[in-house]
């Protein structure tokens, strides 16, 4: 008889484990306590709008993602490289376009003259980009124990450049309000952004886990199955014990301890408030104690995100930023966010309808300056566990951790056969 493995959790890590095991000839069963697959990568269809649970993008430069997904098959479309930044000066909001000078040389040169920041800061960004792209990924992962903010200050960036550009972008990625995340993670993400594109699948972010589940076969996935691991080989499924040759926990048992949280507001707008396919960063979020970190219009990138004649506007608010302002409930957050949006886009915001206000708690694992991010996902000697918490909080971290765990499981199963 063939060997059997149980995977607990049908997030991206659990599904990737199960698929790799199936491809190695193992009989694998996945148990998921919720009524859907995908874990934190879910998309809800609300009146024809595709609402991802928290603003999510895939990065084409992530090496494991490249091996795992067919971006073309996902119908992926990319954001423009670079970003827009909005700041209020006197009564008017001013918008700047910061293009990537290497991929969009003409617009990039114009960014250098648009007065958002000093040419020295733009040169520093160009230098930073070439620095983080060089060398092996190991160097990115293994070197440096500063926070992201300290690392940027040490590279000569002014505090105002950090607050107005890096803060809204990276606080919205790390989902924390101080750029206290390890410099290693900063360099990793910046490298990936400068080497590839940020993309959205045609059917929403849930298309990523779904593509794994399609290859695995849904008959191997048991939804609404909260299981308990009794020992290395036994699961309690409902009121029955089931034996396996190995059990993989593909979830973080301490996820509730993670403090990183985010509010995501989705609006139905008659037309897009942005003139280009960039993400809009709020340059005032740190310096003027504002709420919104960034705004995206997913339907500008992927028209399938909104019904014809509508645009989907998605607003990201870092949970800690809201907490700092004493805002803790949906209504306060919504009304303050709408005021900020009106100060940039004017009365058109009155025509927008709120589709959803999502509060995603325990969103990402903590990766502080001294947490020693490494190239190799963590593993335990006496049990099999995987997920982004064993590496770093991203699709890439979850996939890499799954690959490593499967390798470990296959080696153990091989030994038990001989």
Ligand X SMILES: Cc1cc2nc3c(=O)[nH]c(=O)nc-3n(C[C@H](O)[C@H](O)[C@H](O)COP(=O)(O)OP(=O)(O)OC[C@H]3O[C@@H](n4cnc5c(N)ncnc54)[C@H](O)[C@@H]3O)c2cc1C
Interface ranges with ligand X (CB under 6 A): 8-14, 31-34, 39-41, 54, 56-57, 226-227, 250-251, 262, 360, 363-364, 387-388, 393-398
* Cβ 386 to ligand X shortest distance, Å: 7
Nearer to ligand X, 54 or 81 (CB): 54
Min. distance of Cβ 351 from ligand X in angstroms? 27
To ligand X, the closest distance from the beta carbon of 40 in angstroms equals: 4
Q: How many CB atoms lie within 10 A of CB 229?
A: 16
Q: Which helix (H) or strand (E) holds 296?
A: strand 294-296
* 8 A C-beta contact, residue 79 and residue 402: no
- E strands of 25-163, at which residues? 27-31, 43-46, 49-52, 58-59, 77-78, 82-89, 92-99
C-beta of 94 vs 202, nearer to ligand X: 202
First to last CA, the chain: 15
d(CA 408, CA 418): 16
Closest separation between CB of residue 106 and ligand X, Å? Answer: 28
> What does each C-alpha distance from 176 to 104, 285, 365, 395 come to in angstroms?
30, 13, 11, 18
What SS3 class is residue 315?
Answer: strand
Bridge partners for 296 per DSSP? 314
Q: Which is nearer to ligand X, 34 or 234 (CB)?
A: 34
Supply the minimum distance, in Å, between the C-beta of residue 16 and ligand X. 8
Least separation in angstroms between CB 253 and ligand X: 8
Which of 223, 338 has the CB closer to ligand X? 223
Nearer to ligand X, 11 or 273 (CB): 11
In the bound state with ligand X, the residue whose beta carbon lies nearer, of 61 and 126, is 61
- Judge residue 173's burial from the number of C-beta atoms within 10 Å of its C-beta, 0-12 exposed, 13-18 middle, 19 or more buried: buried
CB of 44 to ligand X, least distance (A): 13
Neighbours of 104 (CB within 10 A): 16
- C-beta of 212 vs 285, nearer to ligand X: 212
């Amino acid at each position: 008889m063939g060997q059997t493995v149980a995977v607990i959790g049908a997030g991206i890590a659990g599904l990737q484990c199960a698929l790799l095991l199936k491809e190695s000839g193992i009989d694998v069963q996945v148990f998921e306590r919720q009524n859907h697959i995908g874990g934190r990568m879910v998309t809800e269809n609300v009146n024809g709008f595709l609402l991802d649970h928290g603003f999510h993008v895939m990065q084409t430069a992530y090496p494991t993602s490249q091996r795992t997904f067919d971006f073309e098959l996902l119908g992926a479309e990319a954001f423009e490289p670079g970003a827009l930044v909005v700041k209020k000066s006197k009564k008017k909001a001013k918008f700047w376009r910061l293009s990537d000078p290497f991929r969009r040389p003409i617009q990039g040169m114009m960014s250098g003259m648009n007065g958002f920041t000093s040419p020295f800061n733009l040169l520093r960004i160009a230098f930073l980009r070439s620095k983080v792209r060089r060398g092996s990924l190991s160097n990115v992962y293994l070197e440096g124990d500063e926070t992201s903010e300290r690392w940027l200050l040490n590279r000569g960036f002014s505090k105002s450049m950090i607050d107005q550009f890096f803060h809204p972008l990276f606080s919205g990625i790390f989902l924390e309000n101080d750029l206290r995340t390890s410099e290693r993670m900063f360099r990793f993400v910046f490298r990936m952004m400068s080497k590839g594109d940020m993309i959205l699948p045609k059917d929403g972010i849930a298309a990523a886990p779904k593509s794994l589940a399609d290859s695995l076969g849904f008959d191997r996935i048991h939804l609404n199955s909260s299981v308990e691991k009794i020992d290395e080989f036994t699961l309690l499924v409902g009121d029955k014990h089931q034996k396996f040759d190995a059990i993989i926990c593909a979830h973080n048992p301490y996820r509730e301890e993670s403090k990183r949280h985010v509010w995501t507001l989705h609006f139905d707008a008659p037309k897009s408030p942005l003139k280009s396919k960039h993400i809009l960063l709020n340059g005032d979020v740190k310096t003027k104690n504002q709420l919104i970190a960034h705004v995206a219009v997913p339907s500008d990138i992927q028209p399938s995100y909104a019904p014809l004649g509508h645009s989907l506007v998605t607003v990201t608010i870092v949970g800690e930023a809201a907490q700092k302002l004493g805002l803790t409930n949906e209504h306060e957050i919504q009304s303050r966010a709408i005021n900020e949006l009106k100060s940039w886009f004017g009365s058109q915001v009155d025509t927008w309808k709120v589709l959803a206000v999502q509060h995603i708690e325990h969103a990402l694992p903590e990766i502080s300056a001294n947490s020693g991010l490494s190239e190799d996902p963590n593993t335990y000697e006496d049990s099999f566990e995987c997920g982004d918490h064993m590496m770093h909080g991203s699709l890439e971290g979850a996939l890499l951790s799954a690959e490593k765990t499967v390798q470990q499981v296959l080696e153990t199963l091989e030994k038990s056969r001989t």
